[in-house]
Chains A and B, each alone.
Chain A
Amino acid sequence: MDIQFEGEHLLAGQIGHLAIYTAFTFSILAAAGFFISSFTKDTEGQRSWRHFARAAFFIHGAGVIAIIATLYIIIQNHWFEYYYAWEHSSLSLPLNYLLACFWEGQEGSFLLWMFWNLILGTAVIFIVRESQSRVLSVFSVVQVFLASMLLGLYFFEYKIGSNPFALLRDEMQNAPIFQRADYLSFIQDGNGLNPLLQNYWMVIHPPVLFLGVASTLIPFSFAMSGLMNRDFSSWTRSVLPWSLFSCAVLGTGIMMGGAWAYESLTFGGYWAWDPVENASLVPWLILIAGVHTNLVFNKTGRALRTTYIFYFLSFILVLYSTFLTRSGILGDTSVHAFTDLGMSGQLLIYMASLSIPAMVMLVIFWKKIPSVRQDENIWSREFWVFIGSLVFLISAIQITFTTSIPVWNKIFGTNWAPPVDNVSHYNIFQIPVAVAILLLSASALYLKFKNSDLKTFRDRMVVNAILALLVTIISAYFGEITAPENIALLFAAIFGVIANLSYITIVLRGKFILSGAAVAHFGFALMLLGILISSARKDTISYNNMKINYGKEFTAEQQKTNLLLYKNAPVQLREYTVTYIGDSAAPPNYYYKVIYEIFDSSTGKLKDKFTLLPNAQINPKMGLIASPDTRHYWSRDLYTHVTSVPDKSKTEIKAEPKFSDHTMKIGDTVFTTNSYAILEDLHRITESEKVKIEANDLAVQADLMVKTLDGVIYEVKPVYYIRDYRGYFYDDMLTELGLTFRVTQIIPDSHAIVLSIAEQKPEKDFIVLTAIVFPFINFVWLGALITVAGFLISMVRLWQKKKVVKKKAELVSQS
């Protein structure tokens, strides 16, 4: 049966399909070309194959760009005949979130990854000379696999990839609606972007994170290139700036994820040791270890094999985390849900095809990779840097091991559950790790490569340690940090801050360009200091004011996280006087206006006053989606979000209220149980916000001032209007007081009205709120930024050095 469907835009999809096949085919050609060029002996052959492969790579790139452009056009035009547009976007979505829909789906995120690989690959073509073909052959292989994720072809019953240009009617063939030629006119709107993701972070976080993820391929391919031509060590110099770039970007991406969680999700923090977070953290840890051993090799000729292992492992772990997060295997253990597109097999093949050759080659050439036989000096920088790298490795192993529980369950048929107390399970291991890293990163710079003067080292360290110890004692005492592991971490972090600061100022004498490592170490210490204080001294101030005792087994924390705030009823939270004064709607968001006031305890004067607007989306599909609002001080954050609000749709369905009638003139007063109302004015209106008044209507509005016995004043404005010789009324309600006001009749002769008032049990407006104080959380963000800056300083420094070396070489060759 052939149906001619109406209103479809099939051309875009055809272009898209063509672009996918182009990108896929030419990535294969590029990979083949670069491989042949790498293994061709004569320079002429190398050159011509390289030119061929580059051309193929650029055509592949054009294909990728065309896929992205076509998909974007489809999403932007809301062509819901395409499954991807229907699934991820909707008509009401603001333009800036259209980009977010683009990478909400798996296909889009694979595209993003491919796009960054393309940019990085192009950069390699223009910057790297010696090992270009070999590096790009690895790049092209990766592009082949990524492009295959978009194919959506069937190969003997097995589906390869998921095509972003699939049509809605093909994806859901069984629905009877798709038998109609005009089915499209029935599909008015798409599914829309998940409200949790409708956030500016969703626009900026994925591109940065994926750039970081994609860039881990560079050290991997450089290391591969070293094994491919058996020139095992010359690549290590040119790779280092790239690796530092990757550390900086991936680190930024991870921290942005934390900032997103903190700023607009409600897990009450920036890091939860969630499997998806861990999956991005682990490759970064390993990459950092790799950068350090790489540096050791460049300076001393040691640790080359370890560098290979780390660089390989970091990209393999990227592949592994792709598998974890995209195959649906984490379903039970992660708050991030991911769809299983039935590609887990393909993802496994992708992972195996890159990691197995790397590992096999490493084993084959293990003996040939140069290493230094001689034992290293204990008082040398390389020894301790190497140990630091091992600590990173151990940290990564533990995180990976626990995160992989669902994988172990699949492989061994076990039924393990992740640790009941997830956070303390990781912390108990990672706090000692952090202490070790901090101590090493504070002292290793004071040692010199190969051999150091022990006395100078000892003197400087002692001064730093004594200073740090003093600061630690003072801050632990006043900051009430009591747990021994926290005090150890506090000391290590303060030691790190002090030692690196004094290294920058005293040893380097402020020479900025040389300070990359010290700046990164300083930032890292500052970040951990912030993490420690903000989590150890995290203070939930929204205690439970109901005084309900749940029994002794429950700690105070568990009982006291949510607080009920009635409208206009101030509640004291520590130094804050907190008042909820009402909500305002800007669909789909509702903003709950909460005023915080701080009064001076002795004089009673108002010291500080601010308003927070924690908001929530009342989403018909998902219910309440809350977003926090935070007051930032330099030394702490006050973080609040609503956890429950009254369901206003329910309160409207109620028994018809009983009205009592009162004949009133202007200035008259009428009493209700808890308030009185004065009729202030009666006047004709031609327009009103509440009710639509037409040209021939006669509408009268009564302005009433209602004052409660507590002295709170409200205004109500019921309307009476005559349309086509019939009288209508529009009630005004005061839900807080349970009062409904209605003008039932107008008596023109005596300038009076009949006002009907109904009293019901007042429907109190309220919100349930959680408020947490995070002390010194700004250190976390500042520290992370400084760490990234440190990476970038080192990167620029290496780049400059390389240029100088090149210029010298040119001068030598000229003369």
Chain B
Amino acid sequence: MNLTLRVLILNFTFLDVTLCLFRDSMKKIHIVGLIFIAFAIGAIITLASDYSQYETFSGAKGETKKDFEVVGFLSKSKEMYYDPQKDPNYFTFYMKDKDSVECKVILFNSMPQDFQRSEQIVVTGRMRGDDFEAQKILMKCPSKYKQDEVVLSKPQAKS
């Protein structure tokens, strides 16, 4: 909110100054245009506060009110748990962030498609205790579109 206010004040100053300087040579349409530009800049700067930084697990620790985005890799050696017969909305796995810190991630949803093959994961959520509770998950699987792996098979005898 604070930021919005500051942006608004900045905008009106900008508008004021331009209007004072060019009052005589301005047309209605120019004023409208300026208001639009001011509005757009203001809105974009305000909305830019939505942007977050990619965090690490240690960075997300301690702050439980805000959501973070953590980039990392699936720890393939550790166990993934999903038992739909017990609970179809509970999936856990271990993930290593960019600092190689490993953390258990809990996702209150089903296991995403093609999860094991993911090469990079972005999870959105927050820490609770030692676990990271994710609301959203995004995976990068280059293999989907590119897989340079020639599958070889023996030539079949021609009959």
Residues of A at the B interface (CB closer than 8 Å) are 86-87, 168, 172, 175, 177, 182, 185-189, 191, 194, 196, 266, 331-333, 335, 337-339, 375-376, 378, 383, 386-387, 390-391, 393-394, 397-398, 401-402, 405, 415-421, 425, 428-429, 544, 546, 548, 550, 554, 558-564, 621-626, 643-644, 646, 764, 766, 768, 770
Contact = CB atoms under 8 A, between A and B. Distances in A.
Contacts of A383: 28-29
B41 to A, nearest CB: 9
Contacts of B43: 394, 398, 429
B151 A188 contact: yes
A428 B47 contact: yes
Given A337-B144, A429-B47, A562-B89, A390 B53 contact: no
B51 A390 contact: no
B63 interface: no
A558 B144 contact: no
A416 B69 CA distance: 10
A250 B61 CA distance: 46
Contacts of B141: 337, 622
B133 to A, nearest CB: 8
Interface stretch (B6-14, B15-23, B73-81, B112-120): B112-120
Contact of A188 (B28, B108, B109, B153): B153
A189 B148 CA distance: 13
Contacts of B54: 415, 417
Contact of A335 (B33, B40, B138): B138
A390 to B, nearest CB: 5
Q: Which of B85, B88, B145 has the most CB of A within 10 A?
A: B88
Nearest to A401: B44
A769 B84 CA distance: 10
B131 interface: no
Contacts of A401: 44, 48
Nearest to B113: A624
A546 to B, nearest CB: 6
A559 B114 CA distance: 22
Contacts of A187: 150-152
Given A337-B144, A561-B110, A644-B110, 15 more contacts: A177-B152, A375-B29, A376-B27, A383-B28, A387-B36, A390-B33, A394-B36, A394-B40, A416-B51, A417-B51, A420-B124, A560-B89, A623-B113, A626-B113, A766-B85
Chain B contact-residue range equals 35 or more
B32 A390 contact: yes
A148 B42 CA distance: 42
B114 A623 contact: yes
B50 A185 contact: no
A386 B30 CA distance: 11
Given A177-B152, A554-B108, A623-B114, A562 B88 contact: yes
Contacts of A189: 151, 153
24 contacts: A177-B152, A188-B153, A337-B140, A337-B144, A339-B146, A375-B27, A375-B29, A387-B32, A393-B36, A394-B40, A417-B54, A419-B52, A420-B52, A420-B124, A421-B67, A546-B87, A548-B87, A558-B109, A559-B89, A562-B109, A622-B117, A623-B113, A646-B84, A766-B85
B152 A339 contact: no
Contacts of B69: 417-418, 420
Contacts of B152: 177, 186-188
B52 A337 contact: no
B92 to A, nearest CB: 13
Contacts of A386: 29, 32
A644 B84 contact: yes
Nearest to B67: A420
B57 to A, nearest CB: 15
B52 A339 contact: no
A527 to B, nearest CB: 24
B85 A564 contact: yes
Contacts of A624: 113-114
Q: Which of B36, B43, B150, B154 has the most CB of A within 10 A?
A: B150
